[in-house]
Structure 1
């Protein structure tokens, strides 16, 4: 954001902010005979008119009052993270540069050659521990902060009473005229467990349609951490110590590892946090809600930042028509897609590169402006903001609002006190 005030002598004054020109209010800006040199810019002495320019640069400021996340209908395909035209243009540029460069020796780098990226192993353990700590903290916060979930659809609301908006699309919603029926929510309603197939060899052959029931499915984030280096005895996976020998683009053989000595861990393996089965409050125990909310917010941000870094190194695929996730270089061949026009695709998924919200859905809920007045008004729906359910729970618990979520929460929007004031807003 760049703001400037130009005040020429005996001329007009205006405030320029980006591409908008706003007339200033008289009496707001005062002339200072000795202003700081960092804030003033004087024109050259050859100019006939002297002007005073005040600039204010804030490039790191996040936009306020941004649009709410778009909801794609079941008949729309998800957009590519990078447009297909840009992908083709980048591919042509790579082909041109390869013609004038010698062929690279040594094969592809990890993890494409079957080896692990050693610098990502501690990060994988950190992401898995952050996920477990987040679930444990949410189980404690749900004992104090009420969260409601609709009985017929997947919508949730953070507050003692549900919101009055008639947006239910579940079973018999037409008979109820879109009205929600609220019940107490659980952790699974807040953190959506997107499952994927567990691969014993992430470079192995693609999962055929006939084996779709014999291969276990686990949360996709756990599968990503396993492929990045986390060892779980319950889910074994193949670890190579020598790069693979590539025969063709789709064929390879494993190198001989019989002459290698027994592997010795160079650094101690980080300890994994155990997930609590159920949290029962002890009589007389006082929970510091503010500290717990701040810790939960940190675990949420830590999990998302770490998962985003892992996705840049270990590819994750998502279907463009349904929420199916596959952690691996190529998607599976199971024909279990039931989205729009799946008959034309014979049930096959339309695989594309996944983004962070595909792996960890944020589950946006309505932001409660005042906790003392938890009832929202359906006439003022356009004035309310939204935030991820975890963020809204932590904010109501006393945590500070992160900068990246202030735009959708609409914290600087004045909410009218009644319907008449709302109708006067242009």
Structure 2
């Protein structure tokens, strides 16, 4: 046993005598191989001071902590390895419901509820009160967004590539269309489901009358008016026949910067000058140099006629063509969705009419449910991607060479967009975002009795 002592000295101001205050002893364990030296500490006291000054107290604590750490470092705790469950996350759900089908008597829902739009408008007014108005960004000021011009060319070429490849795939992949409704089916023969809602459907007990499908059945032709000036006056009812109509995706690309000589459009080089809420004048561009002759930024593709479309000769060519078609489909949809975030697209809430521009046209040609009460005018609202590019969902055939689809097992089959189903049947891999509705992980019973046993 080793005992070390230290003497504290009481120092009084005005006297030089030292008095022993206390003695401290420390006991060290026998396990330690060497003694731990302690430094003496002095407590100085002044008569008029309000606190004590411990000069070496911090060094004492530091030495004591070193002793504890040296003792604890020799004790190795046992680590219990507990099993952890492996969790695999995916941004897409495993199973999802089919897209809802709206009847002709039902209005489309707003992408953002009216209550949320009004709340956001009140917040904007509240924040902008008492602050100077900032500059209006493009394309609201009449200029185009320069960073989106290459994307517009890519979307335009992706659409042409998609159309040309589908014309080739339709010659090797059987696609059927109902002659009385807009139902499609990709497979050697039409499905047996009684879901026809066309003319004389009750006489046929809901059965479809299948015919060969065309490219217009797979890609729904959504057209819109071509605007020479995107910020100009709205199209009136009397001008509805004098203004050309082109595909809506093409019109969106033209307004985003694609140059097509057949469809000229006004390109401003200076922002507009706002006079009122809906009135503006163009800025004077006489001080600017003469504009350079406009031309396409990238080479534009052209559509090929159906007679010149050459079908793939072997399975390898068909698979490569299907992969390229699927990539063009995704490229067109993703690019169009990004363009729609900057350039407004409107859709009628009652019919599929689409208008590319800040406000809808005034043509009174809506023939949807109760259009007489609106005098044929459209109910314009913000469009979503499926309004501009309808996916046209069809039933997914699990095995082309297997048993045909049965009417009693309808709840076990999945659905996919027609373009995706055609590419998958041609040999392309299934994209992750469509696996949830195709129900690939659901086993299909072999008989009706087995289906009745499913809980």
1:68 corresponds to which of 92, 95, 98: 98
Report deviation, 1:267.
9.8
Between the aligned partners of 1:268 and 1:362, the Cα distance in structure 2 is 29
Report deviation, 1:399.
0.8
Between the aligned partners of 2:98 and 2:390, the Cα distance in structure 1 is 15
- Structure 1 alignment gaps of length 5 or more: 1-49
1:79 corresponds to which of 109, 113, 132: 109
Native 8 Å contact 2:259 2:294 kept in 1:
no
Cα 1:268–1:197, aligned 2, differ >3 Å: closer, same or farther? closer
> Residue in 2 aligned with 1:22?
none
> Residue in 2 aligned with 1:271?
299
> Residue in 1 aligned with 2:132?
102
Cα 1:240–1:409, aligned 2, differ >3 Å: closer, same or farther? same
> Residue in 2 aligned with 1:247?
275
Indicate yes or no: 2:393 matched with 1:402.
no
Secondary structure of 2:341's partner? helix
1:197 corresponds to which of 214, 225, 240: 225
Between the aligned partners of 2:372 and 2:82, the Cα distance in structure 1 is 68
Counterpart mapping for 1:334-413 below 5 A? 334-373=363-402, 375-413=404-442
Report deviation, 1:418.
0.5
Counterpart mapping for 1:118-197 below 5 A? 118-197=146-225
Report deviation, 1:168.
1.2
Report deviation, 1:343.
1.6
The superposition leaves residues 101-154 of structure 1 with CA deviations (integer Å, 9 ceiling, x where unpaired) of 3332xx311100111111111111100000000000001111111111111111
* Count of residue pairs the alignment pairs up: 375
The superposition leaves residues 243-302 of structure 1 with CA deviations (integer Å, 9 ceiling, x where unpaired) of 111111111111122221122379971000111112547699547011111111000000
1:332 corresponds to which of 361, 379, 383: 361
Secondary structure of 1:274's partner? coil
Secondary structure of 2:164's partner? helix
> Residue in 2 aligned with 1:90?
120
What's the TM-score once normalised by structure 1's chain length? 0.84
1:293 corresponds to which of 307, 318, 322: 322
Between the aligned partners of 1:53 and 1:342, the Cα distance in structure 2 is 65
> Residue in 1 aligned with 2:29?
none
Secondary structure of 1:305's partner? helix
- Structure 2 alignment gaps of length 5 or more: 1-79
Question: Larger deviation: 57-66 or 298-307?
Answer: 57-66
RMSD: 2.0
Native 8 Å contact 1:140 1:279 kept in 2:
no
The structure with the largest alpha-carbon Rg is: 2
Between the aligned partners of 1:94 and 1:374, the Cα distance in structure 2 is 59
Native 8 Å contact 2:169 2:311 kept in 1:
no
Cα 1:267–1:150, aligned 2, differ >3 Å: closer, same or farther? closer
Cα 1:284–1:150, aligned 2, differ >3 Å: closer, same or farther? closer
Report deviation, 1:318.
0.4
Report which structure shows greater RCO (CA 8 Å, sep ≥6): 1
Secondary structure of 2:347's partner? strand
1:417 corresponds to which of 437, 446, 451: 446
The superposition leaves residues 323-372 of structure 1 with CA deviations (integer Å, 9 ceiling, x where unpaired) of 11000000011111111121221111111100000000000000001111
